[in-house]
Amino acid sequence: MADDKKLTSRAEDFSAWYNELVLRSELADYSPVKGSMVIRPNGYGIWERMQRALDDMFKATGHQNAYFPLLIPESFMKKEAEHVEGFAPELAVVTHGGGKLLEEPLVIRPTSETIIYHMFAKWTQSYRDLPILINQWANVVRWEMRTRLFLRTLEFLWQEGHTAHATHDEAEEEARRMLGVYRTFMEQWMAMPVITGVKSESEKFAGAVRTYACEAMMQDNKALQASTSHNLGQNFAKAFELQFQDEKGGMAFAWNTSWGLTTRMVGALVMTHGDDNGLCTPPRLAPIEIVIVPIWKNDDEKARLTAAALTVKAELTEWTGRGATDRLRVHVDLRDGMRSGAKYYEWELRGVPLRFELGPRDLEKQAVFAARRDTRAKQSLAMDGLPAAAAALLERIQNDMFQAALNRREANSVRGRISYDEFKVLMDGKGGFVFAGWCGESACEAKVKEETKATIRCMPDAEFRSPEAPATCLCCGGPSKAEAVWARAY
C-alpha cells in the first residue's frame, strides 16, 4: 500500500525507475503519437534554465540567435554524401500540402546544416562577411525506432550553432571553444562531470570532418553523449557553394562548424542526480530553489504561519546578494488539506534542492528548519541573515552534487592494463568507463561493439588521459595509436 507511493529503486530496475520518476515528477508525459512526448511545466522549467545559461554563454562568445525554417527541400538533404546516408533512415517527409501532392517533397529538419549553409552562401561574398556565428533554438525530428522519454524521442528540442569561417584554424578553434562552453555548462550548471574528446570515425556526425563530444556517466554506469561540436571542414561549403573572395581576390570555400545540445540533458540530469526518492535538481538549474512548507494545526496557526511563510519568501526574493537579476527562486506551499509530510515527499520527488519547514516552534525560535534534497541533511537556520545563508547553502549543494557525481564516475572508471576477457566480464557486469588503448582500426572497434555492446565514446583530451598511455589495443593487442574511453552507451 505504502509501497506504490515509492518509486521502483534504481538497484531493482534502473529503466523502470527512470520512467516512473519522469512521469511521476511530472517532467513529461507520453503524447498520443508513439515516440513523442509532452514536456510538462516541471520539465520545461528545467529546460528554460538550461536555455538561459547556454544562451548567455553563446552570446558571450559572439553568437547571435536566428531562426531557420522547419521544412527543408528534400534535394538539399542529398547534396552532402555522408549527410544523406547518415540521415536518410530517420527522415520524416512531407509529401502533401494544401491537399495536393507536392512537386518536391519536404523533409522535416533532423538538423539544419543544409538549409543554413544554403542561406550562408547567399549572404557571403567576401572574407569581410566572415565569420558568421549563428545559433538557433529549435525542434527537430528524427524517426527513431526505439524511443525513451527525453533520451530519444521522435521530436526533441535543442540548440544548434552554425558558423562559417575563412580559415580551417578558425573553424577548429570555434569547434573546440564550443566544446569548452558545453563542458562549463555541464560542470557548473548541471553539476555533471564530463570527459571531452574526439569521436572515432564511426561515431562522428554524418558530414563532419571531426566530431568532439562531452561524455557523461549515468548512475547505471552507461555513457551518455551529452553534446557534440563538429568541425565540418569544407564539406558543406562545397556542397552548397558557400564561397567567398579572399584578401588576394581568389575564391575559397568557407570552413564550417556546428554544435548542439538537446532536451536529452533533462534525462541526463535525472540519471546523474536522481535517487530512489525522485529527482534532485542542481540549484542553478532548479526552477524552484527553495520550497517553504508552513506547518499548522488550527486556523489561528494557519493564519500566523501562512503570513510568516510569505514574509520569509519576500525576504528571500527581495535579497539581491546574488545580483539584482539572479533572485532566489522560492515557492510557498500553502495547499490546504494536505499534510506537511505528504508535501515533503512530493517536493523531494520533484527535486527541489532545498526545503524550509516553518512551524510554530521554528517561528518561536525565529528560524526555519532546512532540509537538503541531495543529502537529506537537516539543520535549523536563523531568520536573521537567512537569504545569505540560504544562498550559501544552495551553492554548497551545487558543489557537493558535482563532487558526488565526479566521485561516482571515478569509482566506476578503470584505467591501466585490462585484458579483453576482463573487459567483457566488466561490460556484462557493472559496466563503467574503461580507458584503454586502440589500434585505430575500425574493425577492432566493430568487433568490440559486436561482442560487448561497448563502443569508443571518445579519444579523451589530454587532461583526461591516463598518466601512462596504454601500449596495446584493447581488442587485438596490437600497438595502441590512441587512448580511448570504452563503454556501453545510451
The residue ranges that bind RNA (CB under 7 A) are: 1-2, 4-6, 15, 19, 30, 32-35, 86, 89-90, 142, 144-148, 151-154, 156, 205, 225, 227-228, 260, 262-264, 277, 295-298, 302, 336-342, 344-346, 348-349, 357-363, 369, 371, 376, 378, 453, 490
CB of 30 vs RNA, minimal distance in Å = 5
Give whichever of 358 and 485 is closer to RNA, judged by the CB atom: 358
Three-class SS of the chain? CHHHHCCCCCCCCHHHHHHHHHHHCCCEEECCCCCCEEECHHHHHHHHHHHHHHHHHHHHCCCEECCCCCEEEHHHHCCCHHHHHHHHHHCEEEEEECCEEEEEEEEECCCCHHHHHHHHHHHCCEHHHCCEEEEEEEEEECCCCCCECCCECCEEEEEEEEEEECCHHHHHHHHHHHHHHHHHHHHHHCCCCCEEEECCHHHCCCCCCEEEEEEEECCCCCEEEEEEEEEEECHHHHHCCCEEECCCCCEEECEEEEEEEECHHHHHHHHHHCECCECCCCHHHCCCCEEEEECCCCHHHHHHHHHHHHHHHHHHHHCCCCCCCCCCCEEECCCCCCCHHHHHHHHHHHCCCEEEEECHHHHHHCEEEEEECCCCCEEEEECCCHHHHHHHHHHHHHHHHHHHHHHHHHHCEECCCCCHHHHHHHHHCCCCEEEEEECCCHHHHHHHHHHHCEEEEEEECHHHCCCCCCCEECCCCCECCEEEEEEEEC
Radius of gyration of the chain from Cα atoms?
Answer: 25
Give whichever of 33 and 471 is closer to RNA, judged by the CB atom: 33
Give whichever of 132 and 290 is closer to RNA, judged by the CB atom: 290
Give whichever of 16 and 425 is closer to RNA, judged by the CB atom: 16
d(Cα 341, Cα 6) in Å, to the nearest integer?
Answer: 14
Give whichever of 42 and 225 is closer to RNA, judged by the CB atom: 225
Give whichever of 90 and 395 is closer to RNA, judged by the CB atom: 90
CB of 132 vs RNA, minimal distance in Å = 23
CB of 223 vs RNA, minimal distance in Å = 10
CB of 25 vs RNA, minimal distance in Å = 11
CB of 380 vs RNA, minimal distance in Å = 8
Ramachandran angles phi, psi of 39, nearest 5°: -90, 115
d(Cα 202, Cα 211) in Å, to the nearest integer?
Answer: 10
Give whichever of 174 and 362 is closer to RNA, judged by the CB atom: 362
CB of 123 vs RNA, minimal distance in Å = 27
Give whichever of 2 and 101 is closer to RNA, judged by the CB atom: 2
CB of 247 vs RNA, minimal distance in Å = 37
Ramachandran angles phi, psi of 483, nearest 5°: -75, 140
Give whichever of 134 and 295 is closer to RNA, judged by the CB atom: 295
CB of 392 vs RNA, minimal distance in Å = 20
Give whichever of 335 and 417 is closer to RNA, judged by the CB atom: 335
CB of 458 vs RNA, minimal distance in Å = 12
CB of 268 vs RNA, minimal distance in Å = 9
Pair 447, 183: CB distance under 8 Å: no
CB of 252 vs RNA, minimal distance in Å = 29
Give whichever of 166 and 181 is closer to RNA, judged by the CB atom: 181
